[in-house]
Amino acid sequence: MHGDVLTVLRLSSNPAKLVLDAMQGFYPMHLEIGNMDDEVSVTRRSCILLLERLMKVSPEIKPHVKGGAMKLSFDWMTKMRPTAENYLEVLGFLLLVASYGLASAFDEDELRNLLWIVAQHRQAPELCRVLGFEIRRHDPLFY
């Protein structure tokens, strides 16, 4: 499925818009704070897959799409519960910021603190690179 998503994004006339539209489902309207069912977990994992693949495709992002991603990221920030138990929210947010080139709109220390939450996940080194954080050989973030 990973390869199929990548192919679809590469063939899309506007992959950044396609993925941004899909991200609207990350925080469903019916979701109560602290209540995440299996359906929401599957949706979030699917959104994360889309963002990972968008970052790999690295398309040119049109200003209106980037503006939409900025609005979504600020909205996401107000809903996110940044804890290890809610790592999918944090990972999704960081991938959104990285994929759409939004890091400069956020406080660097805040982004670093969020990276600590997802440091043990395979996406962390790539997120650091794309977000512009230097990875040192003995960085405790990845041990």
Count of domains forming the chain:
1
pLDDT of residue 138: 56
pLDDT single digits (tens) 87-129? 999 999 999 999 999 999 999 999 999 999 998 888 988 999 9
Q: Domain limits at 96?
A: 2-142
pLDDT single digits (tens) 37-87? 677 888 889 999 999 999 999 899 999 999 999 999 999 999 999 999 989
Kindly report whether the global pTM for this prediction surpasses the value 0.95. no
Q: Which residues does 142 contact at the CB level (< 8 Å), separation at least 6?
A: 119, 124, 125, 135
> How many of the other CB atoms lie within 10 Å of CB of 54?
27
pLDDT of residue 77: 92
